[in-house]
Amino acid sequence: MINVQTRKQDWETEFGSSYFDKIGQPVVDALNMLEDVSYHNDELPSFVLCEKQFGEDKYSLRAWAGFDDLDVDRKIFVFSLGLNVNDEYDWNYGSRVEAIFGNINPMCNIGSDEMLTNDQNIIELIMQSKVNFPEVITDFIESEIL
């Protein structure tokens, strides 16, 4: 059973408590297990999946989840992954990190058959990240960045 935090999440404050109503509750529950770092200037709620220190630098695997502002009907769920280095987002790594997790569609149509699989893959990534920093990200950092 997932232990969902009972305090109000930052995403609820910044985006409204009904923001995730169109996505499955298991995904919302999984997101609520993460460190919520949503901020009012963000376009989407943002979460830290996990962090790891490499030498002097702290790397955070981050996810931005929700709906594009232009998608007023909220038909496409966005789950975008990226790396923060020392709490700063590095644009150089976003698409490369997303490519590592090719089983997650960063822009998936709500209600589609693909959405069920995408939800499962998102939840699996979150659950794995709560246990260990993903080895594929460690390999990426060590081979491509350091």
Q: Tell whether 132 is covered by a domain.
A: yes
Q: Tell whether 66 is covered by a domain.
A: yes
Mean pLDDT of the chain: 91
The string of pLDDT tens digits covering residues 92-115 is: 898 999 999 999 999 999 999 999
Mean pLDDT of 50-72: 95
Q: Tell whether 5 is covered by a domain.
A: no
Beta-carbon contacts of residue 113 (< 8 Å; ≥ 6 apart): none
The string of pLDDT tens digits covering residues 9-32 is: 899 999 999 999 999 999 999 999
Burial of 6 (0-12, 13-18, 19+ CB in 10 A): exposed
Phi, psi torsion values for 54, nearest 5 degrees: -125, 105
What pTM value is reported for the model? 0.90
Q: Tell whether 1 is covered by a domain.
A: no
Model pLDDT, residue 90: 87
Q: Tell whether 130 is covered by a domain.
A: yes
Q: Where are the beta strands (DSSP E) in 68-115?
A: 76-85, 88-89, 107-109
3-class DSSP state for residue 116?
helix
Q: Tell whether 2 is covered by a domain.
A: no
Number of domains making up the chain: 1
**By residue range, what is the domain housing residue 130?**
10-145
User: Are 104 and 79 within 8 A, CB to CB?
Assistant: yes
